[in-house]
Structure 1
Amino acid sequence: MHRNAGVENMTNISTPPNNGAGQKDWTPNAVYTLGFLCLISVFNYLDRSILGLALPLIKAEMQVSDAALGLVSGLAFVLFYSILGVPIAWAADRWNRKNIIAAGFAFWSAMTVLTGFVANIWQLALTRFLMGAGEATGLAPSNSMLSDTFRTERRPLALAIFSLSSSIAFVILFPIAGWIAEHYGWRTMFICAGVPGVIFALIFYLTVKEPKRGAKENAPARKLPENIGASLRYLLSTRTYVFILAGATFMGANVFAAGAWTPTFLSRVHEMSMADVAASIGPIRGVLGALGVLLGGLIIDRLSPHLTSWRIKIPAIACALAGPSEALFLLGETKMVWLLGFAATSFVTLIHQGPIFAATMNVARIRMRALSVAVLVFCASLLGQAVGPLIVGVLNDVLAPQYGQMAIRYSLLIIAVTPVCAGVCFWMAAVSYERDMARAIEE
């Protein structure tokens, strides 16, 4: 491991640094790599999200409480996903990222298939644990690969396109999954979601190339200390990175709580069937979410070099706007009002993802990029996905004696507060962004 890292670094150091002048970003190989990584991320989001679609059916079949479902949908998945993500990212900063992604993709797809065969809540929790372990190989190594495929100036747009994967999952695959669950059962839905992933994992392994580290940088890919603690100390000493961590954690609570409980909210409060939720709400969130992500990415991609801090300020504003939009969705009585709130929320909620991931890697050294993303995901997932769905589930049980089916309306108000807090954190991160970018290159 140490010898290979040194050889790679000697190769990079022997090449004169450049600013990417004359390089083309959108080559056929770059587009294929981005497209396939986006496809993998689509299944990443789909496989973890369809449990939320199936929660009403699982509750009826297994006779468990909302708190138990909150634990399974949140904590059971996130423990392995977030904790294993850090050492996996550390390995990805040193070894072949493509192979790590391919192996993880095949494994979590197999666990998705096995979810369709569970007999009780404990077996369901186990498959969620193992699915989380597999999916931990996806996000951080993928972002790291893309950082070596596109230059600094183009990364926000490339990562914004990569962020479209969640929207694609909601628009195309979520309605199909809902239809399968409605007509053939939730178990068949998991089996159908997992089988294609195993096949695509093999194709990815055989056809995608591992990019050279630092190829798009104005600095060589220096060898970093083998001690993971040294890398973490560097990242946590970076002001911009710390505020990004805080903002991502707040957004994690928002996104994961909403993803786990919105189908149940619509079922209980607005009496929508699971098929109706998947066929209408899924595409609305997917289409408008994609438009928001693309618009945000395009605006940031065209910003003047003198407006670097606005590459984070624009996502900060979008997050702040998500708060009142969520409140309108949850408290709106008429369909026109709550649909307007849902549409506005769908448009602004994910604008931050591409630019924030780009900013995260821009303030990290070249061989810390996968780790920087993994720690970000760790905070967003461990506190966001574990705590968010669980708090809503517990509050549902606590408020149910007083509000009945309407309890979830008030429990979910947590998702109206967290994005505003995230917006404040991202705005603070923008203050030191340029300085910390320079620090990452110079040291």
Structure 2
Amino acid sequence: MGSSQTRGTALYTLGFLTLISTFNYLDRSLLGMALPLIKSEMHVSDTTLGLVTGFAFVFFYSLLGVPIAWAADRYSRRNIIAAGFALWSLMTAASGFCSNIWQIALTRLLMGAGEAAGPAPSNAMISDLFTPARRPLALSIYWLAFSIGSLFLVPLLGWVAQHHGWRAMFIAGGIPGVLLALVFLLTVREPARGGTEAKALPTAKAGMLESIAYLLRSPSYLMMGGCAACMGANLYAAGTWSTTFLMRVHHMSIGEVAATTGPIRGIVSLIGIFGGGLLIDRLGRRNLNWRLWVPAIACLLAAPTEMMFLLGDSKLVWMTGFGLSSAFVLMHQAPVFALGMAVAPVRMRAMASAIFLFCSAMIGQALGPLLVGWLNDILAASYGEQAIRYSLLINVVTAIIGGILLLLARRWLTNDIARTERGDAHG
């Protein structure tokens, strides 16, 4: 934490950004929880559901993410985050009033527009609240949002869906965010840019195309972006279809899924994300390589544990696989985003984060859920309701590729960081 921010202010801001991110993950995941109920009511195919959950959300999310990040590198990140938070929360609540699948698709489009204003500006704010050495740990805390939502809010809203219907679940999930957006706007200050660096870095504003061109000339950044795309496909495919998988294959109710898997995923992923952050915080100060080795190993370990979850018939086996994969599959996020901003100039950090999110969303969220839904329909003729366990095996492949890409990124990382510290905007 730099001198421009008191410790209390930095921690308060980090805590609030984490809370906002919790709703970011929660609101986009509610549709995955509700899919079996919506399918039963609206009589649509798995391919259509995959298209609505993935592409409908990601269209505006990806389209607007980069220009919003460019604006965040120039103007108030706090105001952008607050406006986006209010919009996506309103659209979450509005989903509860939809009467057909196309209305749900429309609310997903607009929800994506709002959520595009969340992660990239938040990552950039955190980079200006904490020093480079502490940044991976701070971002690990920020990425605990997924775990917090899974542990506390998913079981609560699963209970709402079980007893009051899926529409009530969306309304209950959306309304609090509108109020919290106002509190965030009134109580959080915009941090000074570059105030936590050990030495002064260039802070000149850059055009959108100039920022994109600079980042695309960073080989390590490209490798990490490829990992973000692969693991995005993994995360969004699992997030969209895991509830359906457990209901079809293991015959659980939506309430049982939320009450069982939500807390398990929350606790175990919390341990994995925060433990990985602590490990990198300790080892990364001695050797920069560990900032890539730890998340790479985690991605590679996610592959066999995903297979245990999907192919295990014994409850002990598939629950063990589910728990272990939850520990590994999110461990890459904080270190990858921290290093993405380490190779980016101060005024390109929101853009650097946004391009990672674009890779994760455009490839991951658009294709992951859709591909699984399409494979479900193709394989259903041969395997019936068991088809989904084979469709979801794409997560094993994406985890392996993601880990390999991070190992390759190490070759260029040191030079790419040095280029940024020199202020070389063209080399």
Q: TM-score range by the shorter chain?
A: over 0.9
Gaps of 5+ in 1: 1-19
Aligned residue for 1:156?
136
Give distance in 2, aligned partners of 1:285 and 1:89.
30
TM-score by length of 2: 0.97
Q: Check whether the contact 1:310–1:430 (CA below 8 A) recurs between aligned residues.
A: no
Aligned residue for 1:220?
201
Give distance in 2, aligned partners of 1:86 and 1:25.
27
Gaps of 5+ in 2: none
Does residue 255 (structure 1) correspond to residue 235 (structure 2)? The answer is: yes
Does residue 140 (structure 1) correspond to residue 116 (structure 2)? The answer is: no
1:23 offset after TM fit, Å? 4.9
TM-score by length of 1: 0.94
After superposition, give the CA deviation of every residue in 1:206-258 in whole Å (9 maximum; x if it has no partner): 000000001012223421333x1111111000011000011111000100000
Q: Which amino acid aligns with 1:354?
A: A
Selected match of 1:35 from 15, 36, 45: 15
Stretches (4+) displaced over 4 A:
22-26
Aligned residue for 2:154?
174
Aligned residue for 1:311?
291
Give distance in 1, aligned partners of 2:98 and 2:216.
41
Aligned residue for 1:365?
345
Q: Which amino acid aligns with 1:115?
A: S
Does residue 129 (structure 1) correspond to residue 129 (structure 2)? The answer is: no
After superposition, give the CA deviation of every residue in 1:408-431 in whole Å (9 maximum; x if it has no partner): 011110011101100000111122
The size of the alignment, in residue pairs, is 422
Aligned residue for 2:395?
415
Aligned residue for 1:17?
none
Q: Check whether the contact 1:213–1:221 (CA below 8 A) recurs between aligned residues.
A: no
1:306 offset after TM fit, Å? 4.0
Question: Mapping of 1:56-67 within 5 angstroms?
Answer: 56-67=36-47
Give distance in 1, aligned partners of 2:171 and 2:286.
50
1:24 offset after TM fit, Å? 9.4
Give distance in 2, aligned partners of 1:411 and 1:426.
25
| 1:399–1:301 CA distance, 2 compared to 1 (3 A) | same
Give distance in 1, aligned partners of 2:231 and 2:42.
31
Does residue 201 (structure 1) correspond to residue 177 (structure 2)? The answer is: no
| 1:112–1:224 CA distance, 2 compared to 1 (3 A) | same
Q: Check whether the contact 1:41–1:138 (CA below 8 A) recurs between aligned residues.
A: yes
Q: Which amino acid aligns with 2:114?
A: G
1:25 offset after TM fit, Å? 7.9
Selected match of 1:81 from 61, 65, 78: 61
Give distance in 2, aligned partners of 1:171 and 1:392.
26
Q: Check whether the contact 1:239–1:432 (CA below 8 A) recurs between aligned residues.
A: yes
Selected match of 1:267 from 229, 247, 256: 247
Q: Check whether the contact 2:5–2:191 (CA below 8 A) recurs between aligned residues.
A: no
3-state SS of the aligned residue for 1:305?
A: coil
Does residue 290 (structure 1) correspond to residue 290 (structure 2)? The answer is: no
Does residue 184 (structure 1) correspond to residue 164 (structure 2)? The answer is: yes
Q: Which amino acid aligns with 2:287?
A: L
Give distance in 1, aligned partners of 2:253 and 2:314.
18
Q: Which amino acid aligns with 2:76?
A: N
Measured on the aligned residues, the alpha-carbon RMSD in Å equals 1.2
Aligned residue for 1:336?
316
Q: Which amino acid aligns with 1:249?
A: A
Give distance in 2, aligned partners of 1:268 and 1:25.
51
- Percent identity among equivalent residues? 56
Give distance in 1, aligned partners of 2:133 and 2:5.
10
Q: Check whether the contact 1:25–1:150 (CA below 8 A) recurs between aligned residues.
A: no
